[in-house]
């Protein structure tokens, strides 16, 4: 028989379980990499302009809200740096002109600036851009890092072929019009330039960890940060890039996963006591690079030849869907 304290904790745990979301992922979109209509998703991209969330980009507590993105840097920044240095044949000083599309509060931008990169960061959220500027100033990186408001769909502030490398970190899974964003990225990249990115695979495992646990149960990220239907399978990403004049190979992609540390018994007991009012943080630490692409993954693509302007016409509606179907038939 449970003691009084045991019954109390059991009631708290039961209350938390009653609030769990569905364990079955929602119905997928017919084709993720085609342009999706406005209003089709539950994702809330406006939260990055919220004053509360914009103050959490660089918080010391990385178990909550936007500060959790800092944990990804341990895996993704070495990968991005390695790819750019190898493919662009960069010397240790890392010269060149680089762009981060959807930079948010500058979590990845600042890490690249610390390595010596000169990066321009663009994001549609004014509050996020302000947080990025303030963080760069605190780190004395303001001479290497420039930030401006801008959209992945419209990079017209930059001439064609003006960047050696482009970064899209934690961005692709938020976009409804992937083809438009990829066309713009290709336009601003010089021939031979390199796009690097990280995103999330659309699997049951990603639904379990990125949506159910991290978002809905532990509240590590704000509500509606992610919509599982917008996650992108690696073969979809490769096909999308190839269809827009990039050289891409899924075999060069790498996965990311967090390290897990067991919380001390006192912390675990305290977390149970606060259920369901405050969900316990997941015991996660820095991400590491792995071979599995089941949840988070990293990738890169080389911009092919072309002038970047005349070859950037949109593909006919349905062309990407049909291309994926043909590819599936060939592979079967």
What confidence score (pLDDT) does residue 67 get? 87
Residue 33 lies in a domain: no
How high is the pLDDT of residue 305?
82
Query: Could you give the C-alpha distances from 150 to 6, 63, 307, 311, 325, in angstroms and in order?
Result: 53, 29, 23, 23, 34
Based on its alpha-carbon atoms, the radius of gyration of the chain, rounded to whole angstroms, reads 21
Quick check: 112 pLDDT over 70? yes
Residue 138 lies in a domain: yes
Calculate mean pLDDT across residues 18-30: 76
Would you say residue 48 lies in a domain?
A: yes
230 or 316, which is more confident: 230
pLDDT at 310: 44
Q: Which two tokens stand for residue 207?
A: 């639904």
Instruction: Check whether 325 has a pLDDT greater than 80.
Output: yes
**Domain annotation covers residue 217:** yes
pLDDT of 105 over the 70 cut: yes
pLDDT at 83: 98
Quote the pLDDT of residue 8.
52
Instruction: Print the domain residue range for 124.
Output: 44-331
In a domain, 34, yes or no: no
Does residue 31 sit within a domain? no
CATH number at residue 66: 3.40.50.150
Domain total in the chain: 1
Query: What is the rounded average pLDDT for all residues in the chain?
Result: 88
Span of 51-55, 60-64, 139-143, 304-308 with lowest mean pLDDT: 304-308
In the predicted structure, residue 40 carries a pLDDT above the cut 90: yes
Cα–Cα nearest to 124, from 151, 148, 157 = 151
Per the model's pLDDT, the better-predicted residue between 4 and 150 turns out to be 150
CA 39 – CA 31 distance, rounded (Å) = 16
pLDDT tens for each residue of 45-87? 999 998 888 889 998 888 778 889 999 999 999 999 999 999 9
**What integer pLDDT is reported at residue 133 of this predicted model?**
97
The pLDDT value given to residue 327: 87
| Residue 190 located in a structural domain | yes
At 157 the pLDDT is: 96
Res. 241: pLDDT tops 80: yes
CA distance 69 to 221: 9
**What's the mean pLDDT in 6-30?**
66
Per-residue pLDDT tens over the stretch 246-291: 999 999 999 999 997 666 665 555 555 655 555 556 677 899 999 9
What residues form DSSP beta bridges with 254?
298
pLDDT over 90, % of the chain: 67
Assess if residue 306 is contained within a domain.
Answer: yes
What's the average model confidence in pLDDT over 295-309?
85
Average of per-residue pLDDT across 193-220: 92
Between 325 and 16, the more confident residue is 325
Query: What would the mean pLDDT of 289-297 be, rounded to a whole number?
Result: 98
Q: Does 28 score more than 70 pLDDT?
A: yes
Segment 136-157 mean pLDDT = 96
Assess whether pLDDT exceeds 60 at residue 201: yes
């Amino acid at each position: 028989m449970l003691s009084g304290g045991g019954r109390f904790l059991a009631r708290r745990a039961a209350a938390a379980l009653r609030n769990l979301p569905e364990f079955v992922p929602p119905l997928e979109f017919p084709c993720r990499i085609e342009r999706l209509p406005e209003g089709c998703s539950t994702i809330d991209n406006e939260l990055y302009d919220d004053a509360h969330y914009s103050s959490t980009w660089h918080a010391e507590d990385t178990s909550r809200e936007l500060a959790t993105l800092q944990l990804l840097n341990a895996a993704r920044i070495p990968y991005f740096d390695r790819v750019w240095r190898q493919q662009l044949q960069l010397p240790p000083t890392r010269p060149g002109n680089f762009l981060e599309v959807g930079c948010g509060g500058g979590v990845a931008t600042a890490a690249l600036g610390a390595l010596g990169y000169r990066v321009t960061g663009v994001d549609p959220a004014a509050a996020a851009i302000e947080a990025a500027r303030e963080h760069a100033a605190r780190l004395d990186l303001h001479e290497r890092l420039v930030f401006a408001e801008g959209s992945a769909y419209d990079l017209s502030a930059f001439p064609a072929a003006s960047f050696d490398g482009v970064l899209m970190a934690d961005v692709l899974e938020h976009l409804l019009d992937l083809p438009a964003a990829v066309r713009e990225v290709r336009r601003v990249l010089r021939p031979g330039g390199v796009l690097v990115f990280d995103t999330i695979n659309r699997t049951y495992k990603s639904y379990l960890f990125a949506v159910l646990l991290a978002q809905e149960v532990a509240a590590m990220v704000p509500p509606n940060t992610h919509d599982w239907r917008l996650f992108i399978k690696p073969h979809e990403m490769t096909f999308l890039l190839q269809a827009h004049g990039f050289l891409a190979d899924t075999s060069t992609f790498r996965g990311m996963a967090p390290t897990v540390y067991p919380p001390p018994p006192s912390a675990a007991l305290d977390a149970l006591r606060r259920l369901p009012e405050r969900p316990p943080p997941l015991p996660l630490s820095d991400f590491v690079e792995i071979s599995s692409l089941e949840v988070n993954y990293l990738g890169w693509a080389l911009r092919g030849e072309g002038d970047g302007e005349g070859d950037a016409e949109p593909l006919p509606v349905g062309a990407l869907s049909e291309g994926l179907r043909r590819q599936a038939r060939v592979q079967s």
